[in-house]
Amino acid sequence: MPFSNSWLGSCLLLAAAAARGQALPAAPADSARPSRPYTYTEQLPVFPPQEAADSARTSQQRVIRFLNKDLHFPAKALRDGVQGKVYFKFVVDAQGHTTSIQLARGLRADVDAEVLRDARRLEAIQWRPGTQNGRPVAVAFTVPITFSVQGGRPGAAQGDSLDLPRFSGFKLPTSTWNLAKAPPANRAVLYGTCLQRLGAGSGGIGQYVRVVNLSTGQVFRFNVKPALRGRRENSFCYALPAGRYALSQYEFNHSNLVLDFRAERLLKPSPRAQSAPGVAATRYVFTLLPGQLHYVGTWNFANENEPIFLNEKELLDPSLQADYPAALLPTARLAMPQ
């Protein structure tokens, strides 16, 4: 994970979600009494090296790297756009053991639980104890963890071959696919959920996504939010020709009061535009195999020009399995747009 050489800390980057968790260096607590852990020492505790490159890092950098390595942004919190700081505290005792790990100030239950889970990994670490006047002492620390959702907007001039007029037309999938049926041999089945724009207010208008088969050039338009459906998040399932696909655009009604239907190009943020050649540099792509069932994720279109794709298969499958007991959901391939 990338880290900073300064006292300002480092950040954890989660690429498919466009999110960041940041652990700042552990800082001594603000006050102390002789009967409590010291908050000022001649020598702070030293975090031990965990890998060869740690010999060139400070103790603070090692702590940051250790915490960031296994810190995750909870999927639902990411989807909800949760942002802010969680503070946890702990003590490194005179024997170099991490003790008294607890939440100092929380943000939200799932985020707080993730921070504490990650922090408790410190219990396995043997520190070199801090010293006061040459004697080992206990030292208290408070660590802030920052969670934020970053959104990059495509540049106004950005575009690619999918903007050409020949991709303006489209075909409709034969129909919504019934998960009770096995995937057809000559087609691929995809399923997932869509988190729509404008909450539950869309004027009762359906919402759609266009995808382009990069092998054949065919454009398909399918419904990700049925008309007159009030739920903010809806599942979808369709059968399409097998092949490699790129997401082209998202179509939605911009107002719940008047008819104002809009189409938004689904482009990657500019900083990611150099990550792959061709259309994959600017568009989110995925591959469908013939005769196979594919899970394509939660497509979160809640924010303008900031699509987020989340793997929430474990949340979706049980509800679908209840409606389609014979569905082969456990065998579904993961085909998240990348």
C-alpha–C-alpha distance, residues 77 and 66, integer Å: 22
Mean pLDDT of 119-128: 96
pLDDT of residue 122: 97
Closest by Cα among 203, 297, 187 to 258? 203
Q: Give CA separation, 10 vs 4, 84, 103, 152, in Å.
A: 5, 16, 21, 20
Strands (E), 82-216: 84-92, 98-105, 130-132, 135-137, 139-149, 187-195, 207-213
Residue 326 — pLDDT band, cuts 50, 70, 90? Answer: confident
Whether the per-residue pLDDT at 26 is higher than 70: the answer is no
C-alpha–C-alpha distance, residues 181 and 67, integer Å: 45
pLDDT one-digit tens code per residue, 236-287 = 999 999 999 999 999 887 766 656 678 889 998 864 444 456 788 889 999 9
pLDDT of residue 334: 97
Phi, psi of 327 (to 5 degrees): -65, 145
C-alpha–C-alpha distance, residues 38 and 30, integer Å: 10
Q: Roughly how many angstroms between the first and final C-alpha of the chain, as a whole number?
A: 20
With vertex at residue 21, the alpha carbon angle to CA 283 and CA 198, rounded to the nearest 5 degrees, is 55
Residue 232 — pLDDT band, cuts 50, 70, 90? Answer: confident
pLDDT of residue 5: 24
pLDDT of residue 278: 75
Provide the mean pLDDT of the chain: 80
- Taking the CB of residue 143, how many other CB atoms lie within 10 A of it? 22
| Global pTM value | 0.55
Whether the per-residue pLDDT at 47 is higher than 60: the answer is yes
pLDDT of residue 120: 96
Rg (CA), the chain: 25
What percent of the chain shows pLDDT beyond 70? 77
For residues 86 and 197, the model is more confident at: 86
pLDDT of residue 312: 94
Is the separation of the CB atoms in 220 and 240 below 8 Å?
yes
Mean pLDDT of 128-143: 92
Is the separation of the CB atoms in 222 and 174 below 8 Å?
no
Whether the per-residue pLDDT at 293 is higher than 50: the answer is yes
Residue 79 — pLDDT band, cuts 50, 70, 90? Answer: low
Sorted by where each begins, the domain ranges of the chain are: 10-149, 165-334
pLDDT one-digit tens code per residue, 146-205 = 887 544 443 333 567 888 777 878 888 867 888 888 888 889 999 999 998 875 455 567
**CATH class held by domain 165-334:** mainly beta
pLDDT of residue 238: 95
Closest by Cα among 262, 226, 251, 247 to 296? 247
